[in-house]
Each structure stands twice: as structure tokens, then as C-alpha cells.
Amino acid sequence: MSILSMLPRHPCPVRLSERRWTFFSKLAVDAVKSVKMKATTADLMGAGEGNNNPSNNKKDRYKYPLSAIHILKAHGQSSLESHLIDGGFAINAMRAAQGMPTAVTSENSDDTVKIAMLDMNLQRHRMAMGVQVIVKDPAEIENIKKREMDITKERIRKILDAGAKVVLTTKGVDDLCLKYFVEAGVICARRCNKDDLKRLAKATGGKVVVTMADMDGNETFDAECLGTCSAVKEERIGDGEMLHVFGCQGGGASTIVLRGANEYMLDEMDR
């Protein structure tokens, strides 16, 4: 362990005190160890090692995917307040409405929390540009508006019926859609970082959905695109709130939350 703790010091040109070197070296080693997983035969073949090597048959081989380590920066407090969220993924996003729950957890050990990750807008359905509707009876205008709202509600209902308890999107969510999520007791966050969602999808075993349209022109939501975890909680870090995803079941995932006085210090620690 002492040898591993010395390794992070060599490639880094930043001058730090001995106390901080020891702290960040241990933090880096703990983060790498937290994403340890058993290597498959395909992993060994890709690394140039196969079944022909007798040592592979005697003991298990492991891999440490560094891409599973997410680094999140938060202003405030000392750099020594940086910490590791072992087995969890933190995303710089917050609830889109105060009426939503601050935490969603699985009711029992066999149950899971489903996460829908979207790369599309969730807004009230409107007719496409260039479409003309000729209305002779003014009462029909209200029916058209009601139908637009019903289409929006049906779209949200498809996501909820798939089992989603948390909805994250890289784009916007209007007030009408938020109303349906609040009524269903679902956590929804908008304008999330796209790269963060891709990492979260890999960690939870889900997929980022870019459209709900199928080959027949209808709208559906495949439940297999949902990610799974044990709990999602909103916690305050620094000046804002962040969503923490615990017990990611798609693979190893950990998050290092860096604390610092300003952006320059955070960038130096990240580097």
C-alpha cells in the first residue's frame, strides 16, 4: 500500500505540503481500488493474455477501469475536505421542482431504483411549423389544446410505466411535465451534463435515450434502457445541491468530490 501511495506523486508537477500529498495519494489509491472488478476472458485476450498462460488458470485476474471514476468539483471548504463516494456516482444536478422527493430508495433488498436518462426535451406537445388548422367552432380550440396536453401526459406516462423513479435529461423540462412528475413522486433533473449521463448509464447498466419514436412511427419507451441502483438522494455540497446515485448495479463506479476555494485550485487538484 505504501508503494501505491507514492505512485501518484511522480507525474504531478504541483507543489503540495507533505500532509496534502499523503491525503491525495491515499484518495487516488482508494478511488482506483473501489472500481476493482473481475476481468473477463475477453479482457485478458485484449491485453494479450489468454488461456495459454498457465498463471491465468491459477488465480482470478482483476481490472481497474479508470473511466469508472468520476471527478466532481465543488467550491468551498478546504482541499482536505475532498472525499470519495465509494460505490456511488454524483452528478452536478438538482431537483427541477421543490415538490419532488429529496430521496428515492429501494423498499427491500430485492428491489431497485430505475433511472431514465434522456437526451431530449420534455415539453408540451405542439403542432409542427407550417401546419394549418381551420376551426369553424371556437369550442374546438379548447379541444385542440386539451389534446396537446393529453399527448404530453401520455409521453410522460410511458416513461413512468416503464418503472422510472428518477428522470434525468440533458435538455429542458417545462412546467406541465414537471407537474406530472411531482404527482408521481419522481425525481426529475434537467440540463444535466451529457458526458456525466453517459458515464452514469454505463455505471447503472442503462442507455441514454435520444428519441421515443419506434420503427412504426409510434412513441414507446423500452424498459431495458433504464439504469438500476439502490438509492438516489439529493445532498447539499458547497453552494448547491447534487444528486448522489448509490449502489450502481451496472458495474463499478465511484466519485471523487474535490473541494477548494476557487476554480483554479480545483483544476490543479483535478490535474
Contact 84, 28 (CB under 8 A): no
Residue 227 has pLDDT above 60, yes or no: yes
What is the architecture of the domain spanning 88-252? 3-Layer(bba) Sandwich (3.50)
- Of 71-80, 121-130, 168-177, the range with the highest mean pLDDT is 168-177
Contact 31, 90 (CB under 8 A): no
Question: What angle is formed at CA 39 by the lines to CA 37 and CA 42, rounded to 5 degrees?
Answer: 145
How many Å apart are CA 203 and CA 117, to the nearest integer?
12
Sign of torsion over alpha carbons 169, 175, 179, 185: positive
Domain boundaries, the chain: 88-252
Contact 116, 201 (CB under 8 A): no
pLDDT in tens, 92-114: 889 999 999 999 998 776 788 99
How many Å apart are CA 56 and CA 118, to the nearest integer?
41
Of 245 and 6, the structure prediction assigns the larger pLDDT to 245
Q: What strands lie across the sheet with 231-237, from one edge to the other?
A: 88-91, 240-246, 231-237, 103-105
* pLDDT given for residue 181 in this prediction: 94
Of 1 and 150, the structure prediction assigns the larger pLDDT to 150
Phi and psi at residue 22, to the nearest 5°: -65, -40
Instruction: Provide the grid cell at 26.
Output: 491515499
pLDDT tier for residue 64 given thresholds of 50, 70 and 90: confident
Q: State the number of CA atoms in the 13 A half-sphere of 160 facing the CB.
A: 17
Contact 213, 219 (CB under 8 A): yes
Residue 250 has pLDDT above 80, yes or no: no
* pLDDT given for residue 1 in this prediction: 47
* Alpha carbon 25 to its chain's center: 26
Mean pLDDT for all residues in the chain: 80
Q: For the whole model, what pTM was predicted?
A: 0.78
pLDDT in tens, 117-167: 999 988 876 666 666 767 777 777 777 677 777 788 888 999 999 999 999
SS3 106: coil
Q: Which residues pair with 128 in a beta bridge?
A: none
* pLDDT given for residue 187 in this prediction: 95
Nearest to 65 by CA among 33, 87, 27, 30: 33
Percent of the chain past pLDDT 70, that is, above it, reads 81
SS3 169: strand
What residue type is assigned to position 251 of the chain?
Answer: G
- Ramachandran area for residue 12 (φ above 0: left; ψ -120 to 50: alpha; else beta): beta
pLDDT tier for residue 88 given thresholds of 50, 70 and 90: confident
* pLDDT given for residue 6 in this prediction: 54
Q: Which residues pair with 52 in a beta bridge?
A: none
Give how far Cα 34 sits from Cα of 65, 68, 72, 138, 256, Å.
Answer: 10, 10, 16, 64, 11
When pLDDT is averaged across residues 230-257 and rounded to a whole number, the result is 84
